[in-house]
Structure 1
Amino acid sequence: MEYKLAVDSSKKATELPLLRVCGTVQQNPHMRAFWASTISFFLAFLGWFALAPLGLEVATSMGTCENQLFPPTDFPTRPAYLKFKNLKSGLSYCQYGVLKEEGKLIDCKDVPADVESGADSTAEQKEKYRPQVLAKCVCTPGTECKSVIANAGVASVASTIFVRIALGTLLERFGPVNVQCGLMSFGAFWVAMAAAITAPWNYTLIRFFIGCAGATFVTNQFWCSLMFAPNVVGTANATAAGWGNLGGGVTQIFMMSVLFNPMVASGMEPNVAWRVSMVVPAVMFVVCAICMKLMCWDMPTARNYDPTVTGKTQKPSMWDYVEVLRDVRVVVMIFQYSACFGTELAMNNQLATHFRTYFQMDAGDASALAGAFGLMNLFARSLGGISSDMCFKYFGFRGRIWAQFLALFFEAIFLFSFGKVDNSQPWYVALAVLVCFSLFVQMAEGTSYGIVPFMKQLAVVSALVGAGGNLGAVIAGFCFYKPIQDALLPFQVHAGYVMFWALLSPCYYWSEMGGMFHGPAQSFEKGKTQSSESESYTESEATSENCM
């Protein structure tokens, strides 16, 4: 069989020509798998976080906004009102300042006596409270609205932890095509069901089940690892995952600017518009699942996956997870991935609402800024994979570890910097820091999966590391963003979490490959030198009828 790509002795591709998609599935299983895993993961991300930019619209429909639960005319001293300032008009809810008692806000200051009795004072000047300056939906930290959105966001990433772990076994039993199609079909049902949200309990429940589609990441990485040789697997994994993650940025813009806003502009009620918008990604899920099942193979040489190809002779079992978790290097990788991919998931849930409530931007602008974070996936994660491969080429395996450390280190620096940008500064300052922060977040994800393919029990390790990303989002949601009522402090604390795990990079060490500060053991280095001539890849020539 002549392949459209150059392959090694195991028929894995040794190159990644992105546009070479011609040929039958037998001739070009590699690029079909690459694009199928990328597109399915992209759509999964799009549906997974489709409700995030619509958060305030959903909250309004559920009646959980602070000014719906506690009308300002009846509850004028709610803390969310007392500290509210309209950034566009510069007017505060408390016209003459806020009264504090033991550091807590208790009421607005009374109207000064000279204003109260002044003949020239207007009725507006004599008002103690100014409810007219409040946002349509007050959903600031400390409110029930913010809590509902935060709980749903955590639920959406928590469910994926269990599914990702389970995929380590399911992939070996059913193969990547069947697993990916199953996840997309299941996700399609729950994305469509989001149109029926009426209350916080079903909002959280539906986001929980939609989150299962996020497990498509494990299939994405496992499938590419089966199709591409070690010399390009880092780049292939990073590009497939990065362009898949791109869906998290696209959905911020797609759901608001392409679907919701045009529907409202055409006369549709907002309560109806966001519900109709959710049907679109559901349909895309179904179409993608059908195409994958009909057009793709699990492996370069066979339609169905065979576990023995990865060197495994025993049937998959839950004991495999125990064996893998005994390796401290796997545990460190799980939590380092929680510090990068987990951070990305947390940002996908937080940023749109942060820009709308803290910076008081309109829905379209807030979604555009939040989308800029995810859009960096267009190249940043691939850049991480490429840098990992390049460092490996020139410095050996220690180069991959240093690439991982530096990406996480600068991610922590810029995340902390983002947490120092307050709403007194122009929006473009926040955007500039956000773009730098996003660059290193995505690069760290790419460098992580430049290391993972070199660990034993690839399917299980891929599943556990992928689940670690979601674990990081749950930790961030419950430990940083939900309990801390300050708008900026959670970002700064989160940066400390990232830095902690970055500093544990020296834990990576293999006798045969070396570590961060050491090369391979001398015995392995000697053996490698003696056998170097016999370890070269035997590439078959790509067919002369290449598309490029």
Structure 2
Amino acid sequence: MKFSSLYRSPELNPKDLKALTIPIFNPINVYGRCFHLSWLGFFVCFLSWFAFPPLLHGSLKKDLNLTAVDIANDNICGLSATLIARFVLGPLCDKFGPRWVMAGTLIVGAIPTAFCPLVTNVSGLHAIRFFIGFLGGSFVPCQMWTTVFFDKTIVGTANALAGGWGNAGGGVAFFMMPALVSSLLGDGYSLHRSWGLAFTVGPFVILVFVAALVILFGQDCPEGKWSKRKDILGIGIDNTLVTVVSVRSDQKTSKRIVSQVTPGDSASAENVAVDELIMADEIIEDPTLLGALKTSFSYRTMLTALCYLCTFGGELAIEAILSGLYSQKSPKWSQSLAGDWGSMMGLLNIITRPLGGVISDLLYRTFKTTKVKKFWMIFCGFMQGVFLLWIGLVTSLSVHGTIGALAAMSVFMEMGNGANFSTVYFINKKHPGIVAGTTGAFGNLGGIVFSLVFRYNVTDKGTSDYGRSFYIIGAICMGLNALVCFIPIREDKYVSAHHEAEGDVKV
């Protein structure tokens, strides 16, 4: 990618009008605009979803008299709703398109966020965490949105950038929420009133604002409305005529040239029919219940799902306990200081997750096979497990040594997340939303499983045995990533689409 491609209108693949570059510095262009709305929607959802963990070991623990078991159970409640949401939102993205699913997720998640000040006991906290957990499903429309706008040669980079920047919302929550609570306490509000208002003046207002941006300025797909996504190929126009589409793309315009021919009249018509068949395999179809179940639990979907269970599942569970871990390692640390250092893992996503996708795309373009994407994804997950095993076994690490070790582990873990959703697109092109939703849901399943590991490693004294939890999670990650090596990936040879964008090329 040239630097100029970051601000110029992108070249397009003439077969499907997907962009061959990412116009990051051109939010006026529809491709740049939708790219930014995808990660921004995801970002604010994660900001609200992760707003509780930095307060659990401080303000909430003190105000609601929470025990270590209560905190662990609360984290599981937040993850359980997201597990359900991701399974549901995947098929909805295939049916209605990612833009409206993103807007709906923001609005639905904003409602329980507004009711946070009403929480007065542990049961109420668990309930509100469960319903706010719906926001964690926003990852699915985020990744689906970039998938439908960007070509397969760069979709890994686009998905990883959007996913990494959006995921950073969880990191921002770790220093924003304690700061808001401290500010409100300084203004004379009670402890309960301070943390309750922090959710209203922060996440709630932002969620509603971004939902409005998505509705007003977003676009469903390159063709316009989601219902027109099949128009480029003329699928279903009639049984005798095949629509041939050509595209010329330059810096200012994208022009389609459409003609119709009767199949079988000539050799050229036969070639058109072949191209039509090839591209029809990549059209996103409306899902059926049986088809959704078959796609969700196919062995190829399990390739990305099980890997994501380790990487994103590990990230969710570990981020939720960071403030408690640092406070245990250094009891003199304040809630704000522990939260500031706890934000590190989430903020690393700005660089590490995109890096995983960029490397995946680079390897794909170099070796011209999706197999290299698969093994890069597995390597990252396995190395994550190695680092967690080491951190868990070396219990003598100081708080600063633990921060450094977790930072090194996070590089592989978060690169694995980026590598994963660089691979998801190639699993099933007819139902990418279902694959994305299932993969994302397995990430939350991993978060629940690993949170249970932390939950059942609470000592008789009421403190958490973090070291034992880490090496158990590390062993699970190493084992699962070794196992999925035997799952084959759908082979999709790399072919550059740049030459197709240089002139009128028939699809």
Q: Does the CA contact (< 8 Å) of 1:336 and 1:501 recur in 2?
A: yes
Q: Does the CA contact (< 8 Å) of 1:332 and 1:501 recur in 2?
A: no
Which residue of 1 is the match for residue 4 of structure 2?
none
CA separation of 1:314/1:487 partners in 2, compared to 1, >3 Å: closer, same or farther? Answer: closer
CA separation of 1:52/1:440 partners in 2, compared to 1, >3 Å: closer, same or farther? Answer: same
Q: Which TM-score applies when normalising by structure 2?
A: 0.81
User: Is 1:489 matched up with 2:468?
Assistant: yes
Q: Does the CA contact (< 8 Å) of 1:337 and 1:465 recur in 2?
A: yes
Which residue of 2 is the match for residue 61 of structure 1?
63
Number of aligned pairs?
434
Find the aligned partners of 2:321 and 2:355 in 1 and give their Cα distance: 25
Alignment equivalent of 1:385, drawn from 344, 357, 375: 357
Which residue of 1 is the match for residue 445 of structure 2?
471
CA separation of 1:260/1:305 partners in 2, compared to 1, >3 Å: closer, same or farther? Answer: farther
Query: How many angstroms does 1:265 deviate by?
Result: 3.1
Supply the RMSD in Å over aligned alpha carbons. Answer: 2.1
Which residue of 1 is the match for residue 42 of structure 2?
41
Find the aligned partners of 2:113 and 2:187 in 1 and give their Cα distance: 24
Find the aligned partners of 1:327 and 1:537 in 2 and give their Cα distance: 35
1:504 match: secondary structure: helix
Q: Does the CA contact (< 8 Å) of 1:404 and 1:448 recur in 2?
A: yes
Find the aligned partners of 1:165 and 1:425 in 2 and give their Cα distance: 39
Which residue of 1 is the match for residue 432 of structure 2?
458
Q: Which runs of 5+ in 1 are unaligned?
A: 23-27, 65-144, 514-519, 521-527, 542-548
User: Is 1:170 matched up with 2:92?
Assistant: yes
Query: How many angstroms does 1:197 deviate by?
Result: 1.1
Q: Which runs of 5+ in 2 are unaligned?
A: 1-7, 232-280, 459-464
Q: Which TM-score applies when normalising by structure 1?
A: 0.75
Alignment equivalent of 1:320, drawn from 282, 286, 291: 291
Find the aligned partners of 2:170 and 2:160 in 1 and give their Cα distance: 16
Which one-letter code corresponds to 1:39 in the other structure? Answer: L
CA separation of 1:193/1:372 partners in 2, compared to 1, >3 Å: closer, same or farther? Answer: same
Which residue of 2 is the match for residue 94 of structure 1?
none
CA separation of 1:540/1:291 partners in 2, compared to 1, >3 Å: closer, same or farther? Answer: farther
Q: Does the CA contact (< 8 Å) of 2:23 and 2:31 recur in 1?
A: no
CA separation of 1:455/1:384 partners in 2, compared to 1, >3 Å: closer, same or farther? Answer: same
Q: Which structure shows the bigger proportion of residues in helix conformation?
A: 2
Which residue of 2 is the match for residue 17 of structure 1?
23
Which residue of 1 is the match for residue 236 of structure 2?
none
Query: How many angstroms does 1:33 deviate by?
Result: 1.2
Find the aligned partners of 1:21 and 1:63 in 2 and give their Cα distance: 47
Q: How does 1:3-402 map to 2 (within 5 A)?
A: 4-9=9-14, 10-22=16-28, 28-55=29-56, 56-64=58-66, 145-257=67-179, 259-279=180-200, 280-306=202-228, 308=230, 311-312=282-283, 315-325=286-296, 327-360=298-331, 361-395=333-367, 396-402=369-375
Q: How does 1:384-463 map to 2 (within 5 A)?
A: 384-395=356-367, 396-420=369-393, 422=395, 425-456=397-428, 457-463=431-437
1:302 match: secondary structure: coil
Q: Does the CA contact (< 8 Å) of 1:177 and 1:298 recur in 2?
A: yes
2:38 match: secondary structure: helix
User: Structure 1 residues 317-326 or 275-284, which shifts more?
Assistant: 317-326
Q: Does the CA contact (< 8 Å) of 1:222 and 1:459 recur in 2?
A: yes
Deviations 1:393-447 (A, max 9, x none): 222323212211221121112222332454x643221111011111111100011
CA separation of 1:268/1:357 partners in 2, compared to 1, >3 Å: closer, same or farther? Answer: farther
Find the aligned partners of 2:335 and 2:327 in 1 and give their Cα distance: 7
Query: How many angstroms does 1:451 deviate by?
Result: 1.0
Which residue of 1 is the match for residue 3 of structure 2?
none
Query: How many angstroms does 1:254 deviate by?
Result: 0.9
CA separation of 1:30/1:400 partners in 2, compared to 1, >3 Å: closer, same or farther? Answer: same
CA separation of 1:60/1:326 partners in 2, compared to 1, >3 Å: closer, same or farther? Answer: closer
User: Structure 1 residues 201-210 or 363-372, which shifts more?
Assistant: 363-372
Determine what percentage of the aligned residue pairs are the same residue. Answer: 27
1:17 match: secondary structure: coil
User: Is 1:501 matched up with 2:506?
Assistant: no
Q: Does the CA contact (< 8 Å) of 2:142 and 2:163 recur in 1?
A: yes
Which one-letter code corresponds to 2:501 in the other structure? Answer: E
Q: Does the CA contact (< 8 Å) of 2:92 and 2:101 recur in 1?
A: yes
Find the aligned partners of 1:277 and 1:378 in 2 and give their Cα distance: 25
Find the aligned partners of 2:194 and 2:112 in 1 and give their Cα distance: 18
Query: How many angstroms does 1:538 deviate by?
Result: 1.8
Which one-letter code corresponds to 1:419 in the other structure? Answer: G
